[in-house]
Structure 1
Amino acid sequence: MAGFELNQAVVMIVMVAYMQFHTTVAKNTHVVGGPAGWTIPASGSHIYSSWAATKTFNVGDDLVFNFPTGKHTVAEVPLQGYDQCNTTDRARIYKTGPATITLTKSGTRHYICTFHCKMGQKLSVNVK
């Protein structure tokens, strides 16, 4: 009986290992703001937070910021930069639209338009 239980345990371990190595997570592409795109929101930044609340963001997913070059930008900033619309400590700035950003690490990521952040053009996402 002990041999049967041992064999059963080995089979379970092999199955779990197989599933971990052969399971792929589908990469999702999220168009920021949906059809409206990355633009100055008519009624404030809650449009972007409401949009993000309906999505699940995972490492490897892409965020696509649709905007006309020269009219908007996208900068990834720390929380303080997000709250204060400050780009001093930005990680990178994208000046050409549309801009695609691949989410490479988990945690909360913050993005702002360097021209229109104070008008509500900013997005915060929680990446799993």
Structure 2
Amino acid sequence: MGRGSASQAMVLAFILGCILLLHCQVAESAVYTVGGNNGWSFNTANWPKGKTFKAGDVLVFKYNPSVHNVVAVSAAGYKGCNSPRGAKVYKSGNDRVTLARGRNFFICGLAGHCQSGMKIAVTAA
């Protein structure tokens, strides 16, 4: 084998290692349906209690899109139940959101829904 072949083998081994590492990280992610069997609805603010979340875990928000949505907000948006301009709004009724490390906040952006408990705060390690 010439020098080029050894270099190609090292590059191939590196790429395969990266693929394996990526696969292991994806396999470790958990998927949670927000609100359990009731889905994303009123009084879900306590749903995260007792659960351990990691960065990369996926939250699935299931709801009727004609009456609800999901808005990713900051801590202030969560506390004040308001959606800042430019906030990411999900409205499919079957939204999948990957958690970032740290605090993640979500509310229903329709009038009065957040105030009625349609919001969650999730901390991902």
Which TM-score band applies after superposition, normalised by the shorter structure?
0.7 to 0.9
The letter of the residue matching 1:111 is F
The aligned amino acid for 1:32 is V
- Counterpart of 1:124 in structure 2 is 121
SS class of match (2:63): coil
Could you tell me how far 1:53 is from its partner in structure 2?
Answer: 1.5
Question: What is the identity percentage for the equivalent residue pairs of Structure 1 and Structure 2?
Answer: 35
Q: Secondary structure at the match of 1:58?
A: coil
Structure 1 runs of 4+ off > 4 angstroms? none
Distance 2:42 2:107 in 1: 11
Structure 1 residues without counterparts, runs of 5 or longer: 1-20, 42-46
1:24 maps to which residue? Answer: 24
Unpaired runs of at least 5, structure 2: 1-20
Give 2:58's aligned residue: 62
In structure 2, what is the Cα distance between the partners aligned to 1:87 and 1:22?
Answer: 34
Q: In the alignment, is residue 84 of structure 1 matched against residue 75 of structure 2? A: no
Deviation of 1:90 (Å): 5.5
Partner residue in 1 for 2:106: 111
Q: Structure 2 CA distance, aligned partners of 1:125 and 1:78?
A: 12
Over 3 Å counting, the alpha-carbon distance change for 1:22 and 1:32 in structure 2 is closer
TM-score (norm 2): 0.73
**TM-score normalised by length of structure 1:** 0.71
Equivalenced residue count is 101
